[in-house]
Amino acid sequence: MTPEIQVGGRGGGPALIDRHVGFLHALREHGLPVSLAEGLDAAKALTCIDLSEREVLREAYAATVVKRPAHRPGFDALFDLWFPPVMGETAPKADGPTDPREQLAELLKGDPSDPALAQFAREMVARFGQVEASPGRQSWFSYPVLRALSPGTLVAGLLNQMLPVRGGLPEQRARTQINTAIKSFEDAGADDVRRRIAEEAGIERIAKSTVKAPIDQRDFLRATRAELAELRREVYPLARRLAARLTIKQKLGHRGRLDFRRTVRASLSTGGVPLNTRLKPKRPHRPELVILCDASDSVAAFSHFTLLLTVALREQFTKVRAFAFVDTVDEITAILTSDDLDLRQADIRRWGRTNYGHVFDQFAERYGDALGPKSSLLILGDARSNYQPPALDTLKVLAKKARHAYWLNPEPHTQWDTGDSLATAYGSVVAMSECRNVAQLSEFIQDLA
């Protein structure tokens, strides 16, 4: 496996083509929808640029084949594997401190995008990163590097050095800067670990095991804290789109006021006689939304996401009422509308045994008037009712009262109806969609119209 990029003049040699095709193949395997035409665009782009400049090559590929920001991190990781930087093992600099922690502290004070920081990360991986994975086999990990250097513990010392007085706004600014630098140090280390494993084990193998799927294809139910933070950023645009879809627009209505301009324009084709009248589209109606979300522990990560979605939707609808339930149902609208809600810590989880049947009965009894001909009902939950009576008739009544009713289920389709799941039974009353990740949620929204 030659890590260098072939720089064989314009057009490149067969080695470049193989690498190009292999790279596109790997991108597709990781869920990036790279079409044939886009692959050709990328190939054409390669003929226009200077291939020895690695960042230009990266951006050229990015511009032609990566069409969604969510796909960019996976793309970057794969690019680093397929087109690794050409680097010799440089000798550590003679001047300056020799203790790696001091060196790191020095670098963290500077610019996070400084190549010296990435270079240092690579040196540290070479020094600390090799671990015996199994007898006779060495492998590379970033964990021992971070343990040896523990950049997080340097922050307090750095702040003392950088600031004459601690506290206040200057400290906040310095903290953000140091945290960014630490993040880029860790990323550079992780990249280098992947590169070293790839050199030993081959690109294809490592690509499969270490490059994560794009954020929009990751399961809600298994999301980690960091992934939830990423998901939060995805939610707002989705909420806007969901709102736009639920606002059923009657584009060219059959009722409404006469559109004079377009009627006269149309009359031209009939010699100035207005045979067909054109009407102005009806004003879009502003729907009201009623959200019922499962807050039980079995769907913990999903309920966090649900909450985010609800908050985001609140801004898009004239009226949103949110209800959370486990075995009883309660209105949570007031909590969500308060200004000091901190989304990073917001949590509506409750322990308990979900009882959908009881919840529907109670909802119809206590909040039945929340639903009307203008409102859409959105139920979010896994339809696992702990073998309690399902109260299907109540749900039917509720669904009938609302203009639309939808159910989003965070469980994979294959697990529906297993154990205590009542997915099909409920699905026959309210249209149920599998919603395990952002991509599926987008799909649901697209299909709403």
Partner 1 sequence: MWFGSPGEVGERLAATGYLADDAITTSVFLAGALGKPLLAEGPAGVGKTQLAKAIAEATGARLIRLQCYEGLDEARALYEWNYKKQLLRIQADDEAWDDIFSEEFLLERPLLTAIRCSEPAVLLIDEMDKADVEVEGLLLEILSDFQITIPELGTITAERKPYVVLTSNATRELGEALKRRCLYLHLGYPTPERERDIVLAQVPELPASIAEQLARTVATLRALELKKSPSIAETVDWAHTLLALGREELDEQTVGDTLGVVLKHHSDQTRARKELGL
**Helix 100-108 vs helix 168-201: crossing angle, to nearest 10:** 120
List binders of partner 1 among 54-113 (CB under 8 A): 55-56, 58-60, 62-64, 66-67, 69, 72, 111-113
Among candidate residues 36, 22, 32, the one with its CA nearest the CA of residue 74: 32
Question: What gap in Å lies between CA 276 and CA 262, rounded to an integer?
Answer: 10
Least separation in angstroms between CB 137 and partner 1: 38
DSSP, collapsed to helix, strand or coil, labels residue 107 as: helix
Least separation in angstroms between CB 160 and partner 1: 18
**Site stretch for partner 1 (CB under 8 A), options 145-153, 336-344, 417-425, 428-436:** 336-344
Structure-block tokens of residue 22: 């292999």
List binders of partner 1 among 219-238 (CB under 8 A): 229, 232, 237
Question: What gap in Å lies between CA 33 and CA 37, rounded to an integer?
Answer: 11
Binding of residue 389 to partner 1 (CB under 8 A): no
Q: How many CB atoms lie within 10 A of CB 123?
A: 18
Please state the φ and ψ torsions of residue 131, each to the nearest 5 degrees.
-130, 145
List binders of partner 1 among 108-137 (CB under 8 A): 111-113
Least separation in angstroms between CB 433 and partner 1: 17
Binding of residue 172 to partner 1 (CB under 8 A): yes
Least separation in angstroms between CB 418 and partner 1: 33
Q: Are 380 and 291 in contact (CB under 8 A)?
A: yes
Least separation in angstroms between CB 70 and partner 1: 10
**Which C-beta is closer to partner 1: that of 102 or that of 114?**
114
**Site stretch for partner 1 (CB under 8 A), options 53-61, 85-93, 118-126, 141-149:** 53-61
Structure-block tokens of residue 369: 């008037």
DSSP, collapsed to helix, strand or coil, labels residue 137 as: strand
Binding of residue 264 to partner 1 (CB under 8 A): yes
Least separation in angstroms between CB 229 and partner 1: 8
Least separation in angstroms between CB 310 and partner 1: 14
**Site stretch for partner 1 (CB under 8 A), options 21-29, 84-92, 219-227, 262-270:** 262-270
Binding of residue 240 to partner 1 (CB under 8 A): yes
**Site stretch for partner 1 (CB under 8 A), options 77-85, 190-198, 334-342, 348-356:** 334-342
Contacts of 91 (CB under 8 A, 6+ apart): none
Binding of residue 270 to partner 1 (CB under 8 A): no
List binders of partner 1 among 302-331 (CB under 8 A): none
List binders of partner 1 among 280-299 (CB under 8 A): 281
Least separation in angstroms between CB 365 and partner 1: 34
Question: What gap in Å lies between CA 395 and CA 377, rounded to an integer?
Answer: 11
Q: Are 249 and 284 in contact (CB under 8 A)?
A: yes
Binding of residue 49 to partner 1 (CB under 8 A): yes
**Which C-beta is closer to partner 1: that of 49 or that of 156?**
49
- Give the position of tokens 């001091």: 102
Question: What gap in Å lies between CA 139 and CA 209, rounded to an integer?
Answer: 14
**Which C-beta is closer to partner 1: that of 132 or that of 340?**
340
The DSSP secondary structure of 226-289, one letter per residue, reads HHHHHHHHHHHHHHHHHHHHHS---TT-SSS-B-HHHHHHHHGGGTT---S--BPPPPPP--EE
Number of chain residues interacting with partner 1 (CB under 8 A): 58
User: What mask of x and - would describe binding to partner 1 in positions 8 to 47, judged by CB under 8 A?
Assistant: -------------------------x-x-xx--x--xx--
Of positions 177, 217, 328, 386, contacts partner 1 by CB under 8 A:
177
Question: What gap in Å lies between CA 268 and CA 353, rounded to an integer?
Answer: 68
Of positions 165, 169, 226, 334, contacts partner 1 by CB under 8 A:
169
C-alpha distance across the termini of the chain, in Å = 50
Binding of residue 343 to partner 1 (CB under 8 A): yes
**Which C-beta is closer to partner 1: that of 173 or that of 208?**
173
**Which C-beta is closer to partner 1: that of 268 or that of 275?**
268
In the chain, the largest separation of any two C-alpha atoms, in whole Å, equals 91
- Quick one: three-class SS letters along 49-72? CCCCCHHHHHHHHHHHHCCCHHHH
Question: What gap in Å lies between CA 105 and CA 115, rounded to an integer?
Answer: 15
Among candidate residues 206, 205, 208, 192, the one with its CA nearest the CA of residue 85: 192
Binding of residue 183 to partner 1 (CB under 8 A): no
Please count the CA atoms within 13 angstroms of the CA of 30 that sit on its side-chain side.
29
Give contact residues for partner 1 (rule: CB under 8 A): 33, 35, 37-38, 41, 44-45, 48-50, 53, 55-56, 58-60, 62-64, 66-67, 69, 72, 111-113, 167-169, 172-177, 179-180, 229, 232, 237, 240-241, 244, 251, 264-265, 268, 271-272, 281, 339-344, 442, 446
